[in-house]
Amino acid sequence: MNIYDIAKEAGVSISTVSRVMNDRPNVATEKRERVLAVLKKHDYVPSAIAKSLVVKSTNTVGVVTLDVRHIHYAKIAYTIEQELSTKDYNVILCNTGSDKREQEKYLRVLAEKQVDGVIMVGSIFSSTHTAETVDRFLSHVPVIMHNGNLKRDNIYNISSNDSYGVELSVDYLVRRGYRQLVFVQDQETWVANAKLKAFRTKLEHYGLPFTGESVVKTENGLENGRAVARALADRGVNYDGVVGCEDITALGIMKELRASGKRIPQDVAVIGFNNSIFSELSEPSMTSVDNKTETIGIGLSRALVDVLQGRDVPHEASIFPELIIRESA
């Protein structure tokens, strides 16, 4: 059944059916009731595509993230979906991994789906390639980025101030008497580089050494964390504190340290990032930087809705984390 069949059975014009289906005014009560009766009789489900042509909106938002299996991205994506559902928006979730071709494919698909807006979660998307892809496919819709630094009229950035989280970590460790600190960088993004810069600046502030041994680069993950601890031991690096990496990587470091006979935090203090469930379940429980995952998800969602509803939204906003003290430091 199509709109023509409905109009014929209800004895009204096609335009009247359209106004009723889109809940528009200026329809006589008797005609509205006839149309609604026909719709109910046939369990009619209107075409979302046809409706979008009338109201100029699909009520659909694309959420693009690196990997929803990662607990940090999963929590943000879940919060976004829950928040947008209260505003009657549907969510299309896209996992791109680190493959630029996958990223381009998904952004093209979202453009083809005529989404009302896009939310991109992760600093990995702050790249020239992403900017060019957005310009190519999505220049006509608002794009809200988490931990982004792209400058476009249609792009709005809401960042976790992770550099401040590093500063909190170093301040805390120095106050506790730790002096030989190591920064573990488990991503290659502008946010990770900003965290490293904050680490170095803080060490210099306290007159503490910063050398080539002060930084270890790896990839995120439990086994990679264990490999970091083994590499530091093999190189004979003397250190009593570790900061910078996400909780799962930090947990791997802790497990390897304990396996080698090190006491935490007496011999080495460890501070993670993201304040995930791993930080509470680890043994000992892990001190971690809480970068307000739920607040981020809500902020990203509300910023997009505000833009879509014509409200003024700043192109840059920042959320400050806090340090959650537990047993590992």
249-275 pLDDT per residue, tens: 999 999 999 999 999 999 999 999 999
Question: 19 falls in which pLDDT band (50, 70, 90)?
Answer: confident
The domains of the chain, with CATH numbers, are 3-55 (1.10.260.40), 60-160+293-322 (3.40.50.2300), 162-290 (3.40.50.2300)
How far is 20 from 226, CA to CA, in rounded Å? 63
User: Would you place residue 45 in the very low, low, confident or very high pLDDT band (cuts 50, 70, 90)?
Assistant: low
CB within 8 A of 133, min separation 6: which ones? 103, 104, 107, 108
Task: Provide the total of helices (H) and of strands (E) in the chain, helices listed first.
Answer: 13, 12
Query: pLDDT of 198-236, one tens digit each?
Result: 999 999 999 998 988 889 999 889 999 999 999 999 999
Identify the pLDDT of residue 57: 67
pLDDT digits over 145-204, tens only? Answer: 999 888 999 999 999 999 999 999 999 999 999 999 999 998 878 888 999 999 999 999
Which residues neighbour 275 within 8 Å (Cβ) at sequence distance 6 or greater?
247, 288, 289, 290, 291, 293, 324
pLDDT of residue 53: 46
What would the pLDDT profile of 86-122 be if each residue is shown by its tens digit?
998 999 999 988 888 999 999 999 998 889 999 999 8
Q: Which residues contact 127 (CB under 8 A, 6 or more apart)?
A: none
The residues near 225 (Cβ < 8 Å, ≥ 6 apart) are 184, 218, 245, 248, 249, 250, 251, 252, 253, 254, 255, 256
This prediction has a pTM of: 0.78
